[in-house]
Structure 1
Amino acid sequence: MRILALNFERGWRGGERQTLYNTQGLIAAGITTHLLCRKGQPLEAAAKKAGITVHAFASKMAVLGFLIKHGAQYNILHAQTSQILTYCVVTKWFHGAAVVFTRRINKPQSGLLTQLKYKYTNKLVAISSAIKQTLASFTKRCDIEVISDVVVPKPADKERISTLRNQQYLTGKTIIGTTAAFTAEKDPFTMLNAVEILRSLEPNFVFLHFGSGPMLAKVETAAKAKGLEQHYRFMGFENDVEAIIPLFDLFVISSKQEGLGSSVLDAFAHKVPVVATNAGGLAALVNKERGISCAVGDAAALAAAMQHMLHHPEQAKLLANNAYEYVHEEHSLQSITQKYLTLFNSTVATATV
């Protein structure tokens, strides 16, 4: 079997990391797997560093040309984003390969063309039950598989953590943190309001927010207006941020839309207790056995949950240990790779153009 994984996004976020992991897992299982990505982006560099055969292009037309000329070399085209799925489907008459799409975003969709695109996709995969439900409602398909994300725990970067402790004067303080983009989906203003409430209850903490995005300036202005400069610190974007998650005593996420919550899985893998909203895939991920879940947009509930975790360290430790066991059993590279292999084999066996 020959597989081409496709991800044409810019930058480096959870989807790009998962594309790399999926490709590495298949190669490790003995499956010939190549990667098509955008030229000059972090995914190209990471894949080449890992020894993966990469087809990198700067334009959409170049991608279409490659699929028309060379797509037939592959049994499976595994599209990792909605945009690249379009290219796989519109060139399907030329390449004849089976098209599989993994959807990681839990947003409602509309439009006849999008429905047609899904109609001519051989297999749909959702990374959470929440996304499956959304996809099924739109496509009316009952054959959608749920295959979650891979977690490859990175060792704690002790040198970076020590540097951060010194630079931010964190000694003797409780450290609460998040790794989230400043976008509407991540709802940073609810997080900011929760931290403001917590400050009135627990003054001896620091909240570190790693991430960037279009809403950053507005949130910074709001934090200054609330007088939160000493408690809410904007840390910017960090490469391999999962390696510094062990710095946190508590991980918090305030999303109002979430396909799964890969940053939560990273916290699980490092035994860091988690407080999260119940948006999308987070509802199932952060259940009562693995963390504390709060309603979307409820800053007071997030603040109360954070305070509860800080005041009940034994319960926080138990939840973190349960989450650690869960992520190692259900989200290992080997486990997820095997699920994809089973899916790909059945898809090839039944595929029609």
Structure 2
Amino acid sequence: MKILHVISGGETGGSKNHLLSLFRGESSHEMMLLVFQKGKLYEEALQEGINVKLMEQKNRYDLSFLKKFKAFIHSNQVDIVHSHGARANLFVRLIKKNLQAKWAVTVHSDPDLDFMHNKKLSTLFSALNKWSLAKTDRLFAVSDRFKTMLMNYGIPDRKIVSIYNGISFDRGKIMGDRASLSLTEDDFVAAIVARLHPVKGHSVLFKAIAAVKDEMDLTVLIVGEGDLKTSLINEAKKLNIEENVRFMGFRTDIDALLSLSDVSLLTSKSESFPLVLLESAREETTVITTDVGGVRSLIPDPSYGWVVSIDDHEELASALKEAYSLKKAGELEEKGKKLRSFAQSHFSLQHLQQSLLEEYNKMLK
């Protein structure tokens, strides 16, 4: 069985890490990766020895390469094309009628929110993505909530399978070095790993920081890049929280940053099943997350972490204060250890890969 994974190539966050993880470990089928632009994904794939092909466009709207794309699939005798992201989904949709291969899509995000940063084109791009999704042979929803979302778009239940993300828990916790960031063990440190995009909810987080900064010695590591960086820096100044936030930019030491943090934050308005929460669990770092996607499958009750309402800075502030109190009482670390144990038993990489393989086999029957 030959599987071709297709993605734009510009991804730097969860979808990048998810895709690369599919190529790790043993596999009973042959896998290839195709990207349409150079970026961190392409570079990391090369470093890991993944069979990756770069098929660059002249520009984002160039469709002249589609003939070459179709020929590549035929010449490599691909059995299943598995696309990730709106751009890749559209390209496969445009050549689908000429393909013998089956087509699967992993839905990593809500099509209605993917382009909210570009109001002029969001309606068009969202509609094109939904049009593409409707024509797939199989859709992998990264949470049951996302499966319901897809059904509400009119996609038949029989086409959709919920397969939650998974990561490898083969190694133990990394020991992050606070001293390298001029932080002490007494500091209360939180990390948010997310691109600087409206859907990630940084503005709500900043309001929560402003509400609690006088009650705790709080430092929040803002890890990621994006179009909102300048406006967020200005927002931090207006809220007088510049000393409480550090814009870390793009980092390759995410695990170490999560490990040295007391809590990991996710403040998104929409997610599927965020890999960063599993990565936090692997580092035994307690999480505070908004109630998005499948997070309640990872945090079934408050003993595993905090799940707060979307866009509610007061509830987020309350969770930060509770976590701070638990740290002072010496009880916060135990919460993180319990989270890792639960995540390891329910969301392993091996389980993810086996689930996909079973679905691939069903598609080819």
Distance 1:155 1:329 in 2: 14
The counterpart of 2:290, out of the listed 277, 285, 293, is: 277
Q: How far apart are residue 315 of structure 1 and its match?
A: 5.2
* Residue aligning to 1:310: 324
Q: How far apart are residue 285 of structure 1 and its match?
A: 3.3
* Residue aligning to 1:79: 83
The amino acid across from 2:197 in the alignment is T
The counterpart of 1:332, out of the listed 338, 341, 348, is: 348
RMSD (Å), alpha carbons: 2.3
* Residue aligning to 2:156: 141
Alpha carbons of structure 1 residues 168 and 107: separation in structure 2 relative to 1, 3 Å: farther
Distance 1:348 1:222 in 2: 52
The amino acid across from 1:49 in the alignment is Q
The counterpart of 2:314, out of the listed 288, 294, 300, is: 300
Q: How many residues align?
A: 343
Q: How far apart are residue 63 of structure 1 and its match?
A: 4.9
* Residue aligning to 2:56: 58
Distance 2:152 2:356 in 1: 23
Distance 2:36 2:70 in 1: 17
The counterpart of 1:37, out of the listed 35, 38, 41, is: 35
Matched, 1:122 2:137: yes
SS at match of 1:100: strand
Q: Give the alignment's TM-score, normalised by structure 2.
A: 0.86
Distance 1:88 1:55 in 2: 16
Q: Residue by residue, what CA displacement relative to the aligned partner does 1:232-285 show, whole Å, maximum 9, x if unpaired?
A: 222222124133210101112211111222211111111111111112333443
Q: Is the 8 A contact 2:219 2:246 kept in 1?
A: yes
Q: Is the 8 A contact 2:191 2:257 kept in 1?
A: no
Distance 2:199 2:146 in 1: 15
Q: Is the 8 A contact 1:99 1:123 kept in 2?
A: yes
Alpha carbons of structure 1 residues 242 and 63: separation in structure 2 relative to 1, 3 Å: farther
The structure with the greater share of residues assigned to helix is: 1
Alpha carbons of structure 1 residues 229 and 87: separation in structure 2 relative to 1, 3 Å: closer
Q: Is the 8 A contact 2:187 2:218 kept in 1?
A: yes
Q: Is the 8 A contact 1:249 1:273 kept in 2?
A: yes
The amino acid across from 1:194 in the alignment is A
* Residue aligning to 2:98: 94
Distance 2:65 2:53 in 1: 9
Distance 2:17 2:347 in 1: 14
* Residue aligning to 1:191: 205
The counterpart of 1:47, out of the listed 41, 45, 48, is: 45
Q: How far apart are residue 62 of structure 1 and its match?
A: 6.4
Q: How far apart are residue 81 of structure 1 and its match?
A: 1.5
Q: How far apart are residue 112 of structure 1 and its match?
A: 7.2
Matched, 1:214 2:227: yes
Q: How far apart are residue 95 of structure 1 and its match?
A: 2.5
* Residue aligning to 2:119: none
Q: Is the 8 A contact 1:106 1:280 kept in 2?
A: no
Matched, 1:322 2:338: yes
Deviates more, 1:289-298 or 1:63-72: 63-72
SS at match of 1:105: coil
